[in-house]
Structure 1
Amino acid sequence: MKSLILLCSALLLATPVHAAQLTLELDAGSRTWQTDELLKHPLARTVTVKDDVSYKRDMSYRAVPISALLTGIKADDHLQAVALDGFAAELPAAPLLNQDGAQAWLAIEDPAKPWPPLAEGKHSAGPFYLVWTNPQAGHISPEQWPFEVASIKRLAPVAERFPALRPDPKLAAGDPVNQGFALFQKNCLACHRLNGAGDSQFGPDLNIPYSPTEYFGADFLKRYIRDPQSLRRWPQAKMPAFASSVLPDAELELLVGYLKHMAGRKQAAQ
Structure 2
Amino acid sequence: MKALILLAALLFGAPLYAAQLDLELGDYSRSWQTEELLKHPQIETITIKKDVSYKRDMSYRAVPLAALLHGVKPDQHLQAVASDGFAAELAAAPLLNAHGARAWLAIEDPAQPWPGLSAGNHSAGPFYMVWTDPQAGSISPEQWPFQVASIKRMAPVAERFPALLPDPALKADDPVNQGFALFQKNCLACHRLNGAGDAQFGPDLNIPFSPTEYFGGEFLQRYIRDPQSLRQWPQAKMPGFSAAVLPDGDLEMLVGYLKHMAGRKVKP
TM class by shorter-chain length?
over 0.9
Q: Percent of aligned pairs with the same residue?
A: 78
Taking only aligned residues, the RMSD between alpha carbons, in angstroms, comes to 0.8
User: What is the identity, as a one-letter code, of the residue corresponding to 1:156?
Assistant: A
What is the one-letter code of the residue matched to 1:194? L
SS of residue paired to 2:30 = strand
User: What is the rounded CA distance, in whole Å, between the counterparts of 2:261 and 2:162 in structure 1?
Assistant: 12
Deviation at 1:17, TM superposition (A): 6.1
Q: Which residue of 2 aligns with 1:176?
A: 175
Is the 8 Å Cα contact of residues 28 and 71 (structure 1) preserved in structure 2? no
Alpha-carbon displacement from aligned partner over 1:216-258 (angstroms, at most 9, x marks no partner): 0000000000000000000000000000000000000000000
Compute the displacement of 1:35 (Å): 0.3
Matched AA of 2:60: Y
Residues 99-178 of structure 1 mapped to structure 2, 5 A cutoff: 99-178=98-177
Rounded Cα–Cα distance in structure 1 between residues aligned with 2:45 and 2:178: 37
How far apart, in 2, do the equivalents of 1:82 and 1:96 lie? 15
Map 1:232-247; keep pairs closer than 5 Å: 232-247=231-246
Q: Distance in 2 between matches of 1:114 and 1:75?
A: 33
Are the structure 2 counterparts of residues 168 and 155 from structure 1 closer, same or farther at C-alpha, using a change threshold of 3 Å?
Answer: same
Letter in 1 for 2:118: A
Off by >4 Å, runs of 4+ in structure 1: none
Could you tell me the TM-score, scaled by structure 1's length? 0.93
Partners of 1:118 and 1:29 lie apart in 2 by 33
Task: Find the counterpart in structure 1 of residue 4 from structure 2.
Answer: none
User: For 1:19-48, what per-residue CA distance to the aligned partner results, in whole angstroms no more than 9, with x for missing partners?
Assistant: 200000002322000000000000000000
Matched, 1:211 2:217: no
- Alignment partners' CA distance in 2, 1:36 and 1:96: 23
Cα gap change, 1:17 to 1:211, in 2 (>3 Å): farther
Could you tell me how far apart the structure 2 residues matched to 1:243 and 1:43 are? 33
Is 1:89–1:143's contact at 8 Å kept on the other side of the alignment? yes
- Report the counterpart of residue 261 of structure 1 in structure 2: 260
Paired position in structure 2 for 1:227 = 226
Q: 1:34 — aligned with what?
A: 33
Instruction: Calculate the TM-score normalised by the size of structure 2.
Output: 0.94
For residue 198 of structure 2, what is the aligned residue in structure 1?
199
Distance 1:62 1:17 in 2: 18
8 Å CA contact 1:27, 1:71 repeated in 2: no
Q: Is the 2:28–2:71 Cα contact (8 Å) retained in structure 1?
A: no
2:149 counterpart SS class: strand
Contact 1:80 1:88 in 2 (8 A): yes
Unaligned stretches of 5+ residues in structure 1: 1-15
Map 1:52-131 to 2 at 5 A: 52-131=51-130
**Cα distance between partner residues in 1 of 2:92 and 2:149:** 18
State the distance in 2 between where 1:186 and 1:27 align. Answer: 22
CA contact (8 A) 1:17 1:114 kept: no
DSSP-derived class of the 2:267 partner: coil
CA distance in 2, matches of 1:32, 1:53: 27
Is the CA contact (8 Å cut-off) linking 1:107 and 1:130 kept in structure 2?
yes
| Inter-CA distance 148–17: structure 2 relative to 1 (3 Å threshold) | farther
SS at match of 1:262: helix
* Secondary structure in structure 2 of the residue aligned to 1:131: strand
Q: Counterpart in 1 of 2:12?
A: none
